[in-house]
Structure 1
């Protein structure tokens, strides 16, 4: 009860903080960057190791610049995520644009539901709020709940404010099948670390043999829903774009891992083009590949 009460107090103060205008929040982000990078040195060793292993051909100076740019972006991402607790979807739509939307519009005109792969790149949180304003299909976001029930409910409510529906990962297939007569767009994180028991396999990603979640591919094949990738970019501070790219139009005709390799490759291409804006602080390679999956 005490922990729940403290969590509610914390959630209240986060909401109050979110009411501050975004330009002022970016001043706080500058302070957060200084604290994380210079004082607390938050996960700097994790970031440095991930960068070294992912880009063995880059110089120390190049890796250092990517690391520093990442922490600047990460501080911005923190305040932008808090801001979504109170901001309107219309406000975010001015800062988040979509191109190639005719790809998904075609599926919608044909009455076909589809799957969207996104990475932890740019601002994937704003994507959950803006997407319902950009497409006709009902967006279903597959997610893993936060450990803290209070904060999980707070951020779930924020993400669903414009029509998105959050679906727990373990219920994904059941919910998709239940809604097969509806027009839906189901969003999966393409770089999610698979937990024990999750559908997974090993592929090369950023120069490393990496366990990857294959649930999206399995669902795509069982439903034959087309798969697209949201190629997200950080245009400038506080502005993002998503360029839809086709991964597969007829999943039932693909060979094993074809879909997974394709959407992971598209994410890798984006990271290679602008490496600083991926979530390098995540311990993505903490689990060694299970070679039995080979």
Structure 2
């Protein structure tokens, strides 16, 4: 009960903050960067180890430079996400631009569904929110629910304000079957870590043997829906572009794990281009495989 009360108080203050213009929030983000990085050192050891193992060819000076850029990005991300509780359609359209959506709309115009995938890169929350404004079909976003029910309800409220439907990971197949007669887009953020007991496949990703989820590939093989990769580009603070890249248009013609390999090849290229904008503070390699 006490935790629930603190959660409501926290959401109240987040709502007040969300009323401020994003440029003001980004000013607060830069102020937060200094104590978060230099004093608190939030997960600095995790970030440093992840970067060094992922880029063994980079010297310490370069690693530290990427590390500092990452902490500036993560503080921006915090305040950008707070703003999503109170963002207008006009501002959302201004801050996220989708390229080559006509490739996807071709399928929707024929009443067909597709699958989409990306990683935790850039501001995935902002881009997914904007997606509902930019396609004619219904976007279904696969996600892992929060343990805190109060914050889960708060997140659901703003995440779905522009037409998106969020589906708990364990209900994915059920929802795919339930919507099989209408044009949809099911979106996967596929760079999460499976639990050790459920790991079925590993691959080389960022110079490390990595356990990966196979949910996207399993759904693709069962439905033969075309897959597009969302390649996110951070244009400048608070602004993003998303390139809609065909990943696999005929899943049933692929070899075992080929789709998963393709996805992580694309994500690796995205990260290599601008490393600072991936979620390095996540314990992605929490067990050895």
TM-score, length basis structure 2? 0.98
Distance in 1 separating the partners of 2:37 and 2:58: 21
Q: Tell me how far apart the structure 2 counterparts of residues 111 and 192 of structure 1 sit (CA, whole Å).
A: 31
The answer to whether the 8 Å contact 1:231/1:244 transfers is: yes
Rounded Cα–Cα distance in structure 2 between residues aligned with 1:107 and 1:263: 20
Pairing 1:276–2:273 present: no
Question: Could you tell me whether the CA contact under 8 Å between 1:228 and 1:246 is conserved in 2?
Answer: yes
1:77 paired with 2:77, answer: yes
SS of residue matched to 1:177: helix
SS of the residue corresponding to residue 213 of structure 1 reads coil
Unaligned runs of 5+ in 2: none
Change (3 A) 1:259 1:207: same
In the alignment, structure 1 segments of 5+ residues that lack a partner are 290-294
- 1:25 and 2:57 correspond: no
**Displacement after TM superposition at 1:108 (Å):** 1.1
TM normalised by structure 1 equals 0.96
Instruction: Work out whether residues 225 and 251 of structure 2, in 8 Å CA contact, stay in contact via their aligned partners in 1.
Output: yes
Query: What is aligned with 1:167?
Result: 167
User: For residues 102 and 230 of structure 1, do their structure 2 counterparts lie closer, same or farther at Cα, with a shift above 3 Å needed?
Assistant: same
Residue 267 (str. 1) matches residue 267 (str. 2): yes
Q: Give yes or no for the alignment of 1:152 onto 2:138.
A: no
Q: What is the CA–CA distance in structure 2 between the aligned matches of 1:195 and 1:156, rounded to whole Å?
A: 25
Corresponding position of 2:44: 44
Alpha-carbon shift at residue 188 of structure 1 (Å): 0.4
Aligned CA distance change for structure 1 residues 121 and 225 (closer, same or farther; 3 Å): same
Q: Secondary structure at the match of 2:185?
A: strand
CA contact (8 A) 1:198 1:215 kept: no
**Displacement after TM superposition at 1:152 (Å):** 0.9
Counterpart-to-counterpart distance in 2, 1:24 and 1:58 = 35
- Secondary structure of 1:107's aligned partner: helix
Post-superposition shift, 1:5? 1.6
Runs of 4 or more, structure 1, over 6 Å off, are none
Superposed displacement of residue 196, structure 1 = 5.0
